[in-house]
Amino acid sequence: MIVQPFNHLQKMASLKEIRTRISSVKTTRQVTSAMKMVSAAKLKKAQDAILQIRPYADKLHEILSSISSSLENSDESVYTQQREPEKVLIILVSSNRGLCGAFNTNIAKTAYELALTKYNRQLKSGQLGFLIVGKQGEKYLKLKKMPVVGQANDLLDLLTFEQTSKLATNLMADFEEQKYDRVELVYNEFKNAAVQIPTAEQFLPVAMQNEEDESTSHFDFIYEPTKEQIVEELIPRSLKIQLYRALLDSNAAEQGARMTAMHKATDNATDLIKDLTLTFNKARQAAITNEILEVTNGAEALNG
């Protein structure tokens, strides 16, 4: 007589817990669905921006490589001087916010492994530093006790060419003053909404095309002003565009990763609600059956 009421109360408590959990998951699904729609809207704008700048950036680099490869001394510019990389700076571009799947973890791991493998000697000697663009990447590297020498997280709040140019100008000045011998750029390249490619490329010094490279056709142009003056003016502009393109790539990749992550989260929440509803109905049916049995047993006992 004591056990039956206890089981009954226990089942009622279990039903209440399932009902509360269903309500909680529904609220979560509303949030993830809203975030998915916001990311989809931002992705369209970010995707348009990166697709518009890519042809310009590629053509600018092609012109620069074509002209510089025909120069007698391509190392005349301070930004093309190949020095022994004793002091290295790695620029890590991540995001300021999470909830975008493995977007931040993958790119932070790429930068971390780059430091451990390619620049392990500089890391051990204290000649390696990280410049962070994105709070999530900063958290990861500080957790790994990596040397973070600066951050430019505000760039992601208002991503403009003017703000990016200031950072690129500072980096060029540091390289010119030999504060760093090499600057690496690590970011997520945007392919589509579901695919982001972790990319590590050399930012400084500028890698020029070899004269033996036959991929670019050379024509006998008449240059005004001289080739040297054109190259000297194009290199800083190309570096600014390269950095801006990397940030736009990362921004589009972030929105795509977040939209995909929120889409999966919404689908998972829907599946979980179905499972919980089924469990709730089964438990409720079992509780009703037990109550009927208790009433029937009680009636039989009275009749007996």
Superfamily covering domain 55-210+219-261: ATP synthase, F1 complex, gamma subunit (3.40.1380.10)
pLDDT at 218 over 80: no
The four Cα atoms 40, 46, 48, 54 give a dihedral, to 10 degrees, of -140
Average the pLDDT over each of 11-20, 83-92, 126-135, 205-214 and give the range with the smallest value.
205-214
Spatial separation of the C-alpha atoms in residues 273 and 278, rounded to whole Å = 8
User: What does the block give as tokens for 256?
Assistant: 């795509």
Question: What pLDDT shows up at residue 114?
Answer: 97
pLDDT at 69 over 90: no
Question: What pLDDT shows up at residue 90?
Answer: 97
DSSP structure class, residue 188? E
pLDDT-derived band at 64 (thresholds 50, 70, 90) equals confident
The whole-chain average pLDDT of the chain stands at: 87
Percentage of the residues of the chain whose pLDDT score is greater than 70: 87
Question: What pLDDT shows up at residue 304?
Answer: 65
151 DSSP β-pair partners? 132
Question: What pLDDT shows up at residue 216?
Answer: 46
pLDDT at 208 over 80: no
> Would you list the domain boundaries of the chain?
55-210+219-261
CB 29 within 8 A of CB 263: no
- Residues 173-197, mean pLDDT to the nearest whole number: 94
pLDDT at 106 over 60: yes
Average the pLDDT over each of 4-13, 44-53, 137-146, 193-202 and give the range with the smallest value.
4-13
Active-site annotation, residues: 100
Percentage of the residues of the chain whose pLDDT score is greater than 90: 64
Report the candidate in 64, 48, 35, 37 with the shortest Cα–Cα distance to residue 248: 48
Bin 72: left if φ > 0, else alpha if -120 < ψ < 50, else beta: alpha
- Residues 204-226, mean pLDDT to the nearest whole number: 63
